């Protein structure tokens, strides 16, 4: 479990891991980044109370670095990746181990079941759980068991990880997708089991959500630069939307100033169609059952969806054009880089 500024979530995340009923020895390794909100002190307190918890320092704060440090410190042949912003359902590990053996996979994952504690966070959770929000990837609500492109978190065979080289520490976002690409290219199975569910708590504020998705999009652009057609088509939808909006603005200005007139103005108006279709889609989703039960929930849903899509799309275009370089997810540092309460 990589940990950075997770004081509000860490105790519950750890408790759900330690409550797993595993037929055999188990340890929980926390890779501690340089938190500023008291998370490290809390982690030490929790570890002092249970000798199954092992602490390792992750001064770089990068998730793949922390994961590799934790994996190398581990003693057992199966690695269960967990997240400090998540909670494992009862029986998760037992079910995952059984599936791992049953289908002879190298990595097994399940459903990311997003949830929220505030109206804003619940709106983000609804977006995560819907195909409109994150494009319909299997672990965002799939129901059909089978081979998968990637796995959320993942229960992995240590021997396969050693063979393919653990996580790529040069990739700060999307590191799980890239690892699973190498696992599949090495001839092993990555498997999705919808009976496995993990509760995930999204970012709690608008600015943190935008920063998270901008960083994630930029790293996806970097992965497109590195792996090209190995990326799913759905990753190109948000940048395509952003390009359509930009074209609509340009055409609108040209029409308003008379540069485009007559038949040319009419023909150029076709650029408005995808933008109009997107607005109608967001409105329909927010007004319908997917937007929640109250008008406040529906307004938040209507605001959250374009925030996620446009932030991700802007990051993606920047990543494709110039690479990700040292881009980090500053949303994990709190708003304006101040300590979280």
Domain boundaries, the chain: 2-202, 227-332
Please state, in angstroms and rounded to a whole number, the distance separating the CA atoms of residues 95 and 85.
Answer: 21
For residues 194-221, average pLDDT: 94
Q: Where does the pLDDT of residue 291 fall: very low under 50, low under 70, confident under 90, or very high at 90 and above?
A: confident
Q: Where does the pLDDT of residue 137 fall: very low under 50, low under 70, confident under 90, or very high at 90 and above?
A: low
Class of domain 2-202: alpha beta
pLDDT tops 60 at residue 313: yes
Q: Give the per-residue pLDDT at 295.
A: 85
User: pTM higher than 0.75, yes or no?
Assistant: yes
For residues 316-335, average pLDDT: 85
pLDDT tops 70 at residue 136: no
Q: Give the per-residue pLDDT at 143.
A: 76
Instruction: Give me the chain's average pLDDT, please.
Output: 91
Q: Give the per-residue pLDDT at 326.
A: 85
At 7-37, the pLDDT tens digits run: 999 999 999 999 999 989 999 999 999 999 9
Q: Are 110 and 197 in contact (CB under 8 A)?
A: yes
Please state, in angstroms and rounded to a whole number, the distance separating the CA atoms of residues 178 and 201.
Answer: 23
The rounded percent of the chain whose pLDDT value lies above 70 is: 95
DSSP letters for 1-53: -EESS-HHHHHHHHHHHHT---SS---EEEEE---SSSHHHHHHHHHHH-TTE
């Amino acid at each position: 479990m990589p940990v950075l500024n997770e004081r509000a979530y860490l105790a519950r995340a750890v408790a759900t891991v330690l409550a797993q009923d595993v037929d055999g020895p188990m340890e929980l390794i926390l890779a501690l980044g340089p938190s500023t909100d008291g998370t490290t002190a809390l982690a030490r307190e929790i570890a002092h109370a249970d000798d199954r918890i092992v602490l390792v320092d992750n001064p770089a704060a990068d998730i793949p670095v922390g994961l590799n440090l934790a994996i190398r410190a581990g003693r057992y042949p199966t690695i269960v990746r967990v997240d400090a912003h998540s909670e494992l359902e009862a029986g998760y590990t037992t079910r995952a181990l059984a599936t791992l053996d049953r289908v002879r996979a190298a990595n097994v994952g399940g459903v990311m079941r997003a949830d929220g504690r505030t109206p804003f966070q619940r709106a983000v959770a609804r977006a995560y759980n819907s195909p409109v929000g994150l494009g319909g990837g299997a672990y965002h609500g799939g129901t059909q068991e089978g081979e998968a492109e990637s796995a959320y978190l993942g229960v992995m065979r240590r021997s396969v990880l050693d063979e393919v080289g653990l996580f790529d520490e040069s990739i700060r976002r999307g590191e799980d997708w890239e690892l699973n690409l190498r696992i599949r290219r090495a001839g092993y199975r990555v498997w999705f089991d919808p009976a496995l569910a993990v509760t995930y708590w999204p970012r709690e504020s608008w600015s943190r959500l935008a920063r998270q998705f901008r960083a994630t999009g930029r790293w996806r652009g970097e992965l497109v630069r590195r792996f090209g057609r190995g990326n799913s088509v759905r990753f190109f939808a948000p940048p395509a939307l952003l390009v359509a909006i930009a074209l609509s603005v340009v055409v609108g200005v040209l029409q308003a100033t008379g540069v485009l007139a007559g038949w040319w103005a009419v023909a150029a108006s076709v650029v408005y169609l995808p933008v109009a279709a997107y607005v109608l889609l967001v409105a329909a989703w927010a007004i319908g059952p997917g937007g929640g039960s109250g008008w406040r929930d529906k307004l938040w849903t209507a605001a959250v969806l374009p925030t996620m899509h446009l932030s991700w799309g802007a990051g993606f275009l920047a990543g494709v054009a110039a690479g990700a370089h040292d881009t980090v997810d500053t949303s994990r540092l709190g708003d304006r880089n101040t300590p979280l309460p």
